[in-house]
Amino acid sequence: MHLCRITNLLNYTPPPPGAPRAPTNWRLGKLLGQGAFGRVYLCYDADTGRELAVKQVQFDPESPETSKEVSALECEIQLLKNLFHERIVQYYGCLRDTQERTLSIFMEYMPGGSIKDQLKSYGALTENVTRKYTRQILEGVSYLHSNMIVHRDIKGANILRDSAGNVKLGDFGASRRLQTICLSGTGIKSVTGTPYWMSPEVISGEGYGRKADICLATTIYWLFVKGYADKNHAMQVEHRRLYGPIWRSRFGPFDMVNVATSELIAQVTQQEGRYPVRTLLPHWKEYRDLRGQDYGLHVHTGPDWYHIRSALNPRMLKLQEVSEYAPVVHHVVTDLLRRVERLRLRSPDQATVCDFTAELYKFGFEGVSSILFETRLGCLEDDVPPDTQRFIAAVNDLFTVSDIVLFLPRWTRRVLPFWDRFVRAWDDLTGVAQRLVDKRVEEITGKLKQGEQVKGMYLTYLLSSNKLSLEELYTSITELLLGGVDTTSNTLSWTLYHLAQDEAIQKRLHQEVTSVCPGEQLPTTEHLSRMPLLKAVIKEILRLYPVVPGNARYFVDNEVIIGNYWFPKKTMFHLCHYATSHDDAQFPEPERFLPDRWLRGSPARSQHHPFSSIPFGVGVRACVGKRVAELEMHLALTRLIRQYQFLPEDNAVPIEPKTRTLMIPSKPVNLRCLPRA
């Protein structure tokens, strides 16, 4: 710690009599956090012995970026110096050190941290604490609004706790005086705040007002106070409990009708017509326009979509044709087993493989690439090729920023970084995909010139069919890759996790696999047809953890009647698949891993609605890669369970799912892999 001396005070309005003042003799302590406009440290007042928090920004007059930070902090100071309320983090004063060129603002130290930290450490709040925090947040919001101030960035990280367990609103770097914002009565059309917590008016560029903070407070209640920030899937179940099987909601730019029973989902899909429209992806379309690319399977609608889908369906949906990919998949599974063995032997106990999900992600990437591009990428090698690393990173980055880009209006592209990251991710994806396709085209052309017979798999079929242009092929095959990786990796992760927890089911599955396919022979699709428990295990995992917990249908041109309600054209329906697959009316003990509920003749078999668990969708817009994903999962699981007994790691803790566009494990899945005799 070092001693800081005052050299010059900013223009300062004295607080009311008795209010705390800025320290004159203080010492800087440990770093508490870092935000968009500076760092926050613990501060010790050497004259009084009290602890404060100090927010600092290094001031460099020559740097435009730093000038922006200073301006933002000065705005915060002007607000905070007049705020005195038990639900607002108390402001003590401000300093500018001309020698150190540091601008500092002193505030009340909140030792309890933020609600975000609290939820991360202790989980969802009880009803009593929820009511208490909600009341206190709204008291703070009401005080701000009575002083003509809109906070504009209310989120879990900005709601702080004192030592008594009460909450206060902090971090006013995004706030502005309402009278300044609303001179015309309509609000200023600028974006300030965190995208996921913005109100619909802010996202759509309609301007700010008091209701923006109220919307944020409501969002905070559900996503942070109630603990659904990364559990949107579970929020489906809670909202169905509160509002019934059908309700309307707004989330970001979407105004949608949620349907959460099997019967209602069936009604929606049965009225979708020949050319169903799924979730609108305007940001994907914008990228395609920017690069002059074909729209592809997920952006095209109507006859254009049907043209591409019809070309992709063959060699993907018929089991007999998909079975031809088994030798390719087996080569990848063999590499996965070698990779698992290397990792197992490298571990201190020569048994534990850490973050099995990451290894299965590489397997899924390698497997689907081997089928789509007819080449190996080296994902399961110890030294992954740079192009492959970039390919994998681009997929991860795309899923990370895609939702953020979707919620922000187009005019923010020039001022926020998310659009640039989104474009770079797509550029890397399409760049590598195009090189792989072009390489195969050259190989085929060379063989034809030499009079050789051309043999191949999916890519060769698409190229030889001439049903798609090269531009259509580039986009569509890249999108197929995106859809195939996570389904395989996440489903297998959850499968091994539950089998490790359930010794009896794992033993039965091992007996089934070894009796149908004994010895070292590679299982075939004929073998798989005689493994009902294997398929039941995968079905049950997909029921518990649908990779896509919700889907959408957009009725552009026709009116529909759903649940005896009439809906006009251009209505978007959110299909709550997670809620229906966890409905105890359809699946008794819905949170329990019970594969026998899928086995014919089993006492545990449930009589459920055919639309109660549809992880791959239904109808003409069902997942085009369903059969390939099932083949990869079935072949990998048979060989993994034949080679290893899976056990939880020592001192294992339960792992819950979380939603990040897709449903994934919230923690690394670490497993002990014991070789079978």
158 lies in the same domain as 287:
no
Q: What is the pLDDT of residue 65?
A: 64
187 lies in the same domain as 268:
no
pLDDT at 253 over 90: no
Contact predicate 83/151, CB 8 Å? no
Cα–Cα distance for residue pair 57/71, rounded to 1 Å: 10
* 134-138, 218-222, 235-239, 392-396: the lowest-pLDDT one: 218-222
Q: Does any domain span residue 254? A: no
E strand map for 225-275: 246-251, 254-259
pLDDT at 381 over 70: yes
* 126-140, 289-303, 376-390: the lowest-pLDDT one: 126-140
Higher pLDDT, 506 or 128: 506
Q: Does any domain span residue 253? A: no
pLDDT at 582 over 70: yes
Identity at 237, one-letter amino acid code: V
Cα–Cα distance for residue pair 169/154, rounded to 1 Å: 8
Domain boundary among 229, 255, 278: 229
Q: Does any domain span residue 243? A: no
140 lies in the same domain as 288:
no
DSSP per-residue codes, 524-562: -HHHHTT-HHHHHHHHHHHHHS-SSS-EEEEESS--EEE
* E strand or H helix that includes residue 573: strand 571-575
128 lies in the same domain as 9:
no
* Mean local confidence (pLDDT), 179-200: 37
Instruction: Work out the number of other CB atoms within 10 angstroms of the CB of residue 313.
Output: 12
Query: Which CATH number belongs to the domain containing residue 34 in this structure?
Result: 3.30.200.20
What is the domain extent for residue 16?
3-108
Q: Percentage of the chain surpassing pLDDT 90?
A: 44
543 lies in the same domain as 564:
yes
Identity at 334, one-letter amino acid code: T
- Surface-to-core class of residue 601, CB atoms within 10 Å of its CB (0-12 exposed, 13-18 middle, 19+ buried): exposed
Q: Does any domain span residue 316? A: yes
* 18-22, 451-455, 464-468, 481-485: the lowest-pLDDT one: 18-22
45 lies in the same domain as 125:
no
49 lies in the same domain as 119:
no
* Tokens linked to 677: 């005799």
558 lies in the same domain as 651:
yes
Cα–Cα distance for residue pair 414/495, rounded to 1 Å: 44
661 lies in the same domain as 529:
yes
Eight-state DSSP code of residue 453: P
pLDDT at 626 over 50: yes
Q: Does any domain span residue 144? A: yes
**Burial annotation 386-402 (CB, 10 A radius, 16+ → b, else e):** eebeebbebbebbbebb
Cα atoms found within 13 Å of the Cα of residue 200, Cβ hemisphere only: 9
Cα–Cα distance for residue pair 439/458, rounded to 1 Å: 15
* 75-84, 294-303, 346-355: the lowest-pLDDT one: 75-84
Cα–Cα distance for residue pair 195/373, rounded to 1 Å: 36
The distance of Cα 295 from the centroid of its chain, to the nearest Å, equals: 23
Contacts of 358 (CB under 8 A, 6+ apart): 668
* Tokens linked to 263: 């019967």
Q: Does any domain span residue 238? A: no
Domain boundary among 203, 229, 255: 229
Q: Whats the size of the chain, residue-wise?
A: 677
Q: What is the pLDDT of residue 152?
A: 64
Beta bridge partners of 160: 114, 168
Contact predicate 252/194, CB 8 Å? no
* Mean local confidence (pLDDT), 168-172: 79
* Mean local confidence (pLDDT), 310-339: 93
Does 517 count as an annotated binding residue? no
Q: pLDDT band for position 76 (50/70/90)?
A: low
- Give whole-number Cα distances, 185 to 188, 189, 198, 211, 262, in Å: 9, 12, 20, 13, 46
pLDDT at 8 over 50: no
E strand map for 309-440: 352-353
- Give whole-number Cα distances, 648 to 139, 354, 537, 643, 653, in Å: 47, 11, 18, 16, 9
Q: Does any domain span residue 237? A: no
Share the mean pLDDT of the chain: 83
DSSP per-residue codes, 185-236: SS------S-GGG--HHHHTT----HHHHHHHHHHHIIIIISS-TT-HHHHH
Instruction: Work out the number of other CB atoms within 10 angstroms of the CB of residue 555.
Output: 21
Cα atoms found within 13 Å of the Cα of residue 192, Cβ hemisphere only: 23
441 lies in the same domain as 293:
yes
Domain boundary among 85, 108, 131: 108
* 77-81, 563-567, 670-674: the lowest-pLDDT one: 77-81
Cα–Cα distance for residue pair 368/488, rounded to 1 Å: 9
* Mean local confidence (pLDDT), 174-198: 37
Q: What is the pLDDT of residue 662?
A: 80
Cα–Cα distance for residue pair 329/323, rounded to 1 Å: 10
8 lies in the same domain as 120:
no
Q: What is the pLDDT of residue 104?
A: 83
Contacts of 412 (CB under 8 A, 6+ apart): 191, 419
Residue 3, helix vs strand vs coil: strand
* 233-242, 260-269, 305-314: the lowest-pLDDT one: 233-242
Cα–Cα distance for residue pair 549/527, rounded to 1 Å: 31
Q: pLDDT band for position 604 (50/70/90)?
A: confident
Q: Indicate the pTM of the whole model.
A: 0.71
Q: What is the pLDDT of residue 341?
A: 97
Does 623 count as an annotated binding residue? yes
Query: Which CATH number belongs to the domain containing residue 165 in this structure?
Result: 1.10.510.10
Higher pLDDT, 675 or 208: 675
Q: What is the pLDDT of residue 99?
A: 73
How many domains does the structure of the chain reveal? 3
Q: What is the dihedral of CA 226, 229, 233, 234, to 10 degrees?
A: -20
Q: What is the pLDDT of residue 208?
A: 45
pLDDT tens, residue by residue, 648-664: 998 889 999 988 778 88
pLDDT at 620 over 90: no
Higher pLDDT, 124 or 168: 168
pLDDT at 629 over 80: yes
* 190-204, 290-304, 345-359, 398-412: the lowest-pLDDT one: 190-204
Q: Does any domain span residue 244? A: no
E strand map for 46-163: 51-58, 91-97, 102-108, 149-150, 159-161
* Mean local confidence (pLDDT), 261-270: 93
Q: What is the pLDDT of residue 221?
A: 56
Q: What is the pLDDT of residue 14?
A: 45
| CA nearest neighbour of 258 among 629, 580, 509 | 580
* Mean local confidence (pLDDT), 353-370: 94
Q: What is the dihedral of CA 5, 9, 15, 21, to 10 degrees?
A: 0
333 lies in the same domain as 356:
yes
Cα–Cα distance for residue pair 211/53, rounded to 1 Å: 30
Q: What is the pLDDT of residue 133?
A: 86
Query: Which CATH number belongs to the domain containing residue 471 in this structure?
Result: 1.10.630.10
